[in-house]
């Protein structure tokens, strides 16, 4: 269920009176009564009540779910300066929820909320400028708004700002600053921040080379299901960098990345099945992963993987080829439309 802070922005008309009773009814899940009380206050212009009523229409609590009504009440509060309602209007304008999509209008609402210190709006405005969605694209402006969100503890913005320092986009290229911001994100449990901090330790970029520290951060991210970290952790188990070499563990983590379409990990997993390293030898399973890995960006890698695929196909029986095809189809059927990476 989506929620908001109804007291973010302007004060209510009478926090200790009718609004408090309405909130007590809402907290007790007596939504019908809460909706009636919030409606009366909202009609009188109380921004917190307008915002709460909007959320009740959004969620269908005590009223029939209605995106148009939700948007109308968010807009009523937003116009009066309620920052959380402004943020909600920006989101709705971005996706066309209860109102026509309009990126320029969305950017303006994000800006209004961000200028009042709304952390999520600041982070989103950073994205808006990076993508040029409804505004002139500007990495410099993106970095400015990310930095404001980071100052309030926003993990995603910290990771995004780290990437800007890593690439020198909108800021001076500075791997050490990139690592600092990745750490801010990583220490809040952000899996992408943990992944990139781990890779910086693995490469000695912006920080002293430290394979043990790299593995520690990569493991935290991989255990959250981040495939890039899983692939790097699998490689660490193959090489023994920062951890005792263990092909079984390597195969386990390669599988996580391979299932998300990482071609290098798919090919490496295929090799492990071909040779029986860390897994039971299975040439049919090896062929499945060779076929999947053949769609590589690098021409050299693609040729190598196609050669491995073709060599293995030439030695398998028709029955084995049919089983490999069955496994490929089964694998594709379990992938959602946008499964990749």
Summarize pLDDT for 210-223 with one digit per residue, the tens. Answer: 999 999 999 999 99
pLDDT for position 301: 81
pLDDT for position 16: 57
* 341 occurs within a structural domain: yes
**Rounded CA gap, 143 and 159, in Å?**
11
Residue ranges in the chain whose pLDDT is less than 70: 1-16, 296-297, 336-341
* 330 occurs within a structural domain: yes
* 280 occurs within a structural domain: yes
* 75 occurs within a structural domain: no
* 303 occurs within a structural domain: yes
DSSP secondary structure code for residue 169 in this structure: S
pLDDT for position 17: 84
Q: What are phi and psi of 69, to 5 degrees?
A: -65, -40
Domain that holds residue 270: 265-341
Q: List, in order, residues 6 or more apart from 13 with CB less than 8 Å away.
A: 19, 41, 44, 45, 46
* 306 occurs within a structural domain: yes
Helix boundaries (H) for the chain: 18-27, 31-43, 47-59, 67-79, 83-95, 103-115, 119-131, 139-151, 155-167, 175-186, 191-203, 211-222, 227-239, 247-258, 263-275, 283-293, 299-315, 318-333
pLDDT for position 48: 94
* 34 occurs within a structural domain: no
* 163 occurs within a structural domain: no
Give how many domains the chain has, as a whole number: 1
DSSP 270-296: HHHHHHTSSS---HHHHHHHHHHHT--
């Amino acid at each position: 269920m989506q929620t908001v802070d109804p007291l973010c922005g302007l004060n209510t008309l009478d926090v200790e009176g009718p609004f408090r009773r309405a909130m007590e009814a809402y907290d007790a899940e007596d939504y019908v009564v809460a909706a009636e009380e919030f409606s009366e206050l909202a009609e009188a212009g109380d921004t917190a009540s307008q915002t709460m009523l909007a959320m009740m229409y959004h969620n269908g609590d005590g009223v029939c779910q209605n995106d148009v009504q939700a948007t109308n009440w968010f807009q009523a509060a937003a116009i009066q300066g309620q920052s959380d309602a402004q943020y909600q209007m920006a989101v709705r304008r971005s996706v066309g929820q209860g109102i026509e999509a309009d990126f320029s209008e969305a950017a303006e609402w994000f800006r209004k909320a961000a200028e009042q210190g709304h952390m999520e709006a600041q982070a989103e405005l950073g994205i808006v400028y990076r993508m040029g969605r409804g505004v002139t694209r500007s990495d410099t402006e993106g970095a400015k708004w990310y930095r404001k969100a980071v100052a309030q503890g926003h993990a995603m913005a910290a990771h995004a700002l780290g990437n800007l320092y890593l690439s020198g986009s909108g800021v001076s290229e500075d791997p050490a600053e990139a690592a600092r911001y990745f750490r801010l994100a990583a220490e809040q449990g952000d899996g992408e921040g943990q992944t990139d901090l781990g890779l910086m330790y693995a490469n000695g970029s912006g920080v002293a080379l430290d394979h043990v520290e790299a593995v520690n951060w990569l493991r935290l991210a991989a255990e959250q299901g981040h495939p890039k970290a899983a692939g790097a952790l699998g490689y660490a188990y193959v090489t023994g960098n920062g951890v005792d070499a263990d092909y079984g563990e390597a195969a386990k983590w390669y599988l996580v990345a391979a299932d998300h379409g990482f071609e290098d990990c798919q090919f490496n997993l295929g090799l492990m099945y071909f040779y029986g390293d860390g897994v039971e030898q299975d040439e049919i399973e090896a062929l499945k992963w060779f076929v999947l890995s053949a769609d590589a960006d690098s021409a050299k890698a693609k040729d190598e993987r196609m050669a491995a695929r073709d060599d293995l196909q030439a030695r398998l029986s028709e029955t084995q080829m049919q089983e490999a095809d069955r496994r490929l189809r089964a694998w594709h059927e379990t992938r959602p439309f946008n499964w990749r990476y």
